[in-house]
């Protein structure tokens, strides 16, 4: 039996053993390797609801391998419940709090290893941040994907339905049917939003067992894989393979390439730098953009494509994407298998993983190439661009894979709002003109906690007079399900006096995705030279003062007071 990391602590203070035995541990248990099993289970949303089942399976695996699990919990929260009210301001903040609590759990005694179970927007990056801090043997167990809704639909139908409801265009039967079928099971939402993206990033970073990201949450396979992770953590503990040995810059580079190939969420541009920061690595969204211009976009998953997340897994999931990109990936990087990425993929194939997945896909009558293309079949590269210019000196991001080509270059008059609520009200009331650029400011990390703006984007997308001609520019962020010309993370943010704070109605805003530019090019509807624009902005700056903002208290105040910019990762200093 391997030596425990906590042996010295147990010898130092006998109450450690007594406390364990007070929870039905035996005398033999306290001598075994001790594994922290930390999940985000709770009645918070379907992505976490079932994690008690997977946590139990993982714990059985620990027992089977000769260890003793200890279960801890930090329930996460859901963007879906927080839409349209002040609760959304707390969503991004929760990432750091979850990471802090897992760090606290992981520090109470020297654990031999750690299993982290999560699958949604903020909990997965939080767990990877905590793993980076603790640097002990760790496996992340993804929560899997929700089953598809009727007609290959997703929970994202809430956006168009809510927008149409506000205009009186939805009958009660349609709304009832959506509520009954929009989330037909537990698991992360069915599109390549932030939850799905971050599960994929965990696997691409080598922190989850191969093939576990977006595994359908109701299938027996996900329970078997959770148990396998529980058994395997003892191997990592024995070999001393810790999180920092896996999450290297080479693995981050691999993950950025995978992100480009799957059309991942813009929010990964916040989460991945924050994870890297915990490792002492610098990761700027510009690196994503540069890589994205070289990597083919090969998946066909909503919101940029046609299919749902479970069909992505049936087509082979992340291992198939890595197989397609094998000539562009570093296959020598270490993963939680204890082997290189190349060897791990080979072992997965030998075990029949791809054949089993394709067997499920055949039930739908869909060829794999319709869901995951080869690089030769794709004529598009990447999915997200980093834009810079006099409106965003430190950068902004846009998911151009979800933007119609005729909006990749656009100049329009600004319609400026100091909150998302005001902007949405104006959209619903029909006060926004086609061709406008809706500017929403004071919604960055320091401004209001950086809420996502799913309801506002959908209000535009599902307005026939605005869809395809109106863009949004904000220092806030967007849902991973967002489509259309939506530019977020504008930095510096308005609270810090960034140029976005100086905009006025009818200033002309240029969006140029091919040139990676976001610029003010005119004033009061009249085009100006760059020198003239700079002079106008400089004059406005002399008179600018921070508007009175709603008072913050508690955790949101602590977050806003200490958050870095979105382009750095929006983490707390």
Residues serving a catalytic function are 479
Helical axes 285-292 vs 249-262, angle rounded to 10°: 60
Residue 139 pairs in a beta bridge with 115
What sign does the CA torsion over 320, 322, 328, 330 have?
A: negative
What are 58's two structure tokens? 């993982």
In the three-class reduction of DSSP (H, G, I as helix; E, B as strand; rest coil), residue 139 is classed as strand
Q: What is the DSSP letter of 277?
A: H
Rounded to whole angstroms, the Cα distance separating 227 from 222 reads: 9
What sign does the CA torsion over 37, 41, 47, 49 have?
A: positive
From the CB of residue 266, how many other CB atoms can be counted at a distance below 10 Å?
A: 29
Rounded to whole angstroms, the Cα distance separating 76 from 127 reads: 11
**Which residues, 6 or more positions from 537, have their beta carbon under 8 angstroms from its beta carbon?**
390, 499, 502, 520
What sign does the CA torsion over 498, 500, 501, 506 have?
A: positive
Phi, psi of 166 (to 5 degrees): -65, -20
The DSSP bridge pattern shows strands 392-398 and 486-491 to be antiparallel
**Which residues, 6 or more positions from 154, have their beta carbon under 8 angstroms from its beta carbon?**
148, 182, 189, 190, 191, 302, 308, 481
Burial class (CB in 10 A: 0-12, 13-18, 19+), 220: exposed
Phi, psi of 37 (to 5 degrees): -115, 105
Q: What is the DSSP letter of 142?
A: E
CA dihedral of residues 280, 286, 288, 293 (deg, nearest 10): -150
Pick the closest to residue 114 from 39, 178, 165 (CA basis): 39
**Which residues, 6 or more positions from 365, have their beta carbon under 8 angstroms from its beta carbon?**
none
Pick the closest to residue 132 from 253, 272, 298 (CA basis): 272
What are 516's two structure tokens? 């990676």
What is the rounded end-to-end Cα distance, in angstroms, of the chain? 41
Phi-psi region of 206 (alpha: psi -120 to 50; beta: other; left: phi over 0): left
**Which residues, 6 or more positions from 492, have their beta carbon under 8 angstroms from its beta carbon?**
393, 394, 498, 499, 565
Contact 281, 249 (CB under 8 A): yes
């Amino acid at each position: 039996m391997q030596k425990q990391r906590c042996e010295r602590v147990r010898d130092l203070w006998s109450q450690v053993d007594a406390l364990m035995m007070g929870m039905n541990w035996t005398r033999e248990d306290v001598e075994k390797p001790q594994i922290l099993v930390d999940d985000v289970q709770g009645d918070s949303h379907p992505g976490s609801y079932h994690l008690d089942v997977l946590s139990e399976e993982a714990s059985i695996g620990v027992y089977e391998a000769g260890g003793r699990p200890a279960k801890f919990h930090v329930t996460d929260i859901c963007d879906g419940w927080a839409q349209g009210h002040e609760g959304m301001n707390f969503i991004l903040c929760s990432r750091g709090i979850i990471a802090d609590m897992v760090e606290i759990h992981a520090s109470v005694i020297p654990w031999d290893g750690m299993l982290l179970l999560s699958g949604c927007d903020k909990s997965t990056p939080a767990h990877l941040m905590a793993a980076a801090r603790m640097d002990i043997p760790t496996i992340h167990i993804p929560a899997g994907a929700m089953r598809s809704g009727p007609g290959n639909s997703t929970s994202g139908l809430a956006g168009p339905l809510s927008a149409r409801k506000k205009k009186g265009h939805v009958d009660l039967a349609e709304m009832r049917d959506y509520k009954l079928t929009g989330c037909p099971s537990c698991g992360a939402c069915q599109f390549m939003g932030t939850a799905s993206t971050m599960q994929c990033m965990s696997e691409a970073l080598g922190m989850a067992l191969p093939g576990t990201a977006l595994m359908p949450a109701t299938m027996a396979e996900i329970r078997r894989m959770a148990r396998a992770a529980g058994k395997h953590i003892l191997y990592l503990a024995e070999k001393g393979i810790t999180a920092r040995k896996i999450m290297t810059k080479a693995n981050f580079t691999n993950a950025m390439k995978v992100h480009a190939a799957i059309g991942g969420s813009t929010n990964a541009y916040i989460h991945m730098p924050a994870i890297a920061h915990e490792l002492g690595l610098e990761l700027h969204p510009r690196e994503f953009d540069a890589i994205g211009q070289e990597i083919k976009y090969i998946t066909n998953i909503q919101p940029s494509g046609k299919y749902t997340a479970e069909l992505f897994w049936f087509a082979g999931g992340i291992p198939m994407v890595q197989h397609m990109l094998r000539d562009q990936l570093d296959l020598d990087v270490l993963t939680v298998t204890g082997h290189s990425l190349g060897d791990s993929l080979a072992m997965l194939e030998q075990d029949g993983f791809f054949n089993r997945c394709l067997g499920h896909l055949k039930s739908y009558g869909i060829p794999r190439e319709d869901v995951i293309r080869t690089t030769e079949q794709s004529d598009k590269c990447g999915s997200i661009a980093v834009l810079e210019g006099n409106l965003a000196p430190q950068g902004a991001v846009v998911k151009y894979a979800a933007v119609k080509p005729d909006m990749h270059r656009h100049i329009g008059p600004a319609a400026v709002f100091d909150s998302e609520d005001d902007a949405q009200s104006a959209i619903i009331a029909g006060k926004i003109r086609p061709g406008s650029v809706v500017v929403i400011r004071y919604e960055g990390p320091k401004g209001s906690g950086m809420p996502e703006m799913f309801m506002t984007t959908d209000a535009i997308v599902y307005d026939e007079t605005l869809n395809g001609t109106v863009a949004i520019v904000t220092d806030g962020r967007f849902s991973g399900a967002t489509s259309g010309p939506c530019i977020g993370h504008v930095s510096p943010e308005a609270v810090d006096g960034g140029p976005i704070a100086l905009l006025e109605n009818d200033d002309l805003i240029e969006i140029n995705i091919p040139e990676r530019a976001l610029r003010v090019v005119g004033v009061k509807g009249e085009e100006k030279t760059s020198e003239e624009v700079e002079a106008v902005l400089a004059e406005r700056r002399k008179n600018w003062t921070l508007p009175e903002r709603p008072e913050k208290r508690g955790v949101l105040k602590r977050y806003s007071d200490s958050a870095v910019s979105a382009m750095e990762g929006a983490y707390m200093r």
